[in-house]
Structure 1
C-alpha cells in the first residue's frame, strides 16, 4: 500500500504515544520516591474515599504487575498493584484515588462511563473484525469492504474518544477529594498533577492515532469513489 500523506501525522502521533508511555513510568517512579506528608498508603486513600462516598461495600484487592491498577465495573472492585496498594507516596495515592474516581463514576452513573460500558461489547467485536475488512478491501481493491471496515473501525475510535472524558473526570475527582479530605496538602498537588496528567496523555495519544487512521481510511475511500466515476 502506498504512502499516504496522513501516514506522516500518524507516525508523529505514534512518537507521542511512545514518549507518553515513558513519561508515565518516569513520573510514577519519580513521585514514588516522594512520601506523602499524611503517611497514607494507596490502600488507605482508596478505602477512605470509598467509605466517605457511601461505597464501603466496594472491596480493594492487590493485583500483580506494574501500573496494573484498575476498577472492575463487573465485580465492582478496585484493584491496585502492590506498589500502589502498599506505597505511601505521591504516586501511589494519586493512582489509587484515580481508580476510586471510576468507582464513584459508576455509582453515580456518570454519562460518559455509562456509554463506554454500553459500547464495550460492540467495540470488542468490531475492533477485531475491522483490520481484516480493511486489509481485504485494500488487497482486493474492494471499496465495499473498505467502507464496512471504516464503519467497524469508527466504533473503536468512538470508544477511545469517549474514554477521554472518563479518564479526565476520574483524575479531577481524585485531586478534589484528596485535597478536600486532607489526604494531600496543597504543596503536594503538583506531584499529583504530574502523575495523573502523564497517564492521561497516553489516552490522548492513543485516541489521536486511531482518529488519524480513520481519517486516512475515509480519504482513501472517497478518493477511490472519485477514481471510479
Structure 2
C-alpha cells in the first residue's frame, strides 16, 4: 500500500480553506462585537424583536427562550422554539436585532414548509451519525485494503457536502427575511441597517466556508479512494 497516497492532493486547499475559515470567524466575532455595542434607536432587545416578528407572522405559539453561550442562537424545528443567547436576548443592540430576526426567519421557513429546510431537517440526524463513521471507514478501508469500506466513507463525505449545500439557501433566505422585515417595519435604518446587514453577511460567510471545506474534503477522499483502488 502506498502511504503517500494517504496524503491526497487537496491538503494544501484544505489548509487554505481552514485558515480562511479562521479569518472569517474572526471577522464575524469583530463585526458582531462592534454592532453588539451599538444600541438600536428603537431600544428593542432581541427577545422583544423576536416576539414582535413572530406574532406578526402568525407564530404567537412559538416561545422565545434564552440559552447560554455566545452566538448560540438557533431555531429548534422539533420543539418549535426560537433560542437566543443571553446577550441577544437581553440587550437592545443592532447585533441582537439582526440575529433575532434571522432566527425568526427560520421559524417562518418552518411555517411555510420551505423545501430546503425540510430536507435539511431530515438529513441532520442520519448525517451527524454518518460523519462520525466516515473517517473511521476511510481509515479502515485504507489500512485493511477493503475497497467497499473505503468507498462507503467517500459516500458519507459526499452526503455531508449535500448537507452543507442544502444549508446555504436556508441560511441566505433567513437573512433575507430578517433584513426585509427590519427595513419594512422601520426597525433599523441608515447605519443601523448597514450594521445588521454586515452582521448577517459575516455569519453567512461561515456557511460558505463550511461548504468549501466539505467540498475540499470530498475531493481529497475521492483522490485517496481512486489511488487505493488502482
Task: Please give the range of the TM-score, normalised by the shorter of the 2 chains.
Answer: over 0.9
> Which residue is equivalent to 1:43?
47
State how 1:151-170 maps to structure 2 within 5 Å. Answer: 151-170=155-174
Shift of 1:193: 1.4
Match among 87, 92, 108 for residue 88 of structure 1:
92
Q: Quote the Cα distance in structure 1 between the aligned partners of 2:178 and 2:159.
A: 29
Q: Which residue of 1 aligns with 2:143?
A: 139
Question: Conserved in 1, the CA contact under 8 Å of 2:142 and 2:228?
Answer: no
* TM-score (structure 1 length as normaliser): 0.94
Q: Residue 99 of structure 1 contacts residue 170 of structure 1 at CA under 8 Å; is this kept in 2? A: yes
Secondary structure of 1:40's aligned partner:
coil
Q: How far apart, in 2, do the equivalents of 1:94 and 1:147 lie?
A: 42
CA RMSD of aligned residues (A): 1.3
Count of residues in Structure 1 that have an aligned counterpart in Structure 2: 226
Separation of aligned partners in 2, 1:129 and 1:220: 17
Q: How far 1:187 sits from its partner (Å)?
A: 3.4
Deviation per CA, 1:95-151: give whole Å up to 9, x if none: 111111100000110111010011123212211211110011122233221111111
Return the alpha-carbon distance in structure 1 between the equivalents of residues 195 and 145 of structure 2.
Answer: 52
How far residue 223 of structure 1 moved from its aligned partner, in angstroms, is 3.1
Name the CA distance, whole Å, in 1 between partners of 2:14 and 2:120.
Answer: 25
Match of 2:57 in 1: 53
**Aligned partner (choices 103, 107, 117) of residue 99 of structure 1:** 103
Do residues 204 (structure 1) and 208 (structure 2) align? yes
TM-score (norm 2): 0.94
Which residue, 176, 181, 186 being the options, matches 1:177? 181
Pick the aligned partner of 2:195 from 186, 191, 194: 191
Q: Which runs of 5+ in 2 are unaligned?
A: none
2:127 aligns to what? Answer: 123
Structure-1 separation of matches of 2:87 and 2:128: 30
Match of 1:33 in 2: 37
Distance 2:222 2:183 in 1: 45
CA distance in 2, matches of 1:85, 1:213: 36
> C-alpha distance in 1, partners of 2:125/2:217?
22
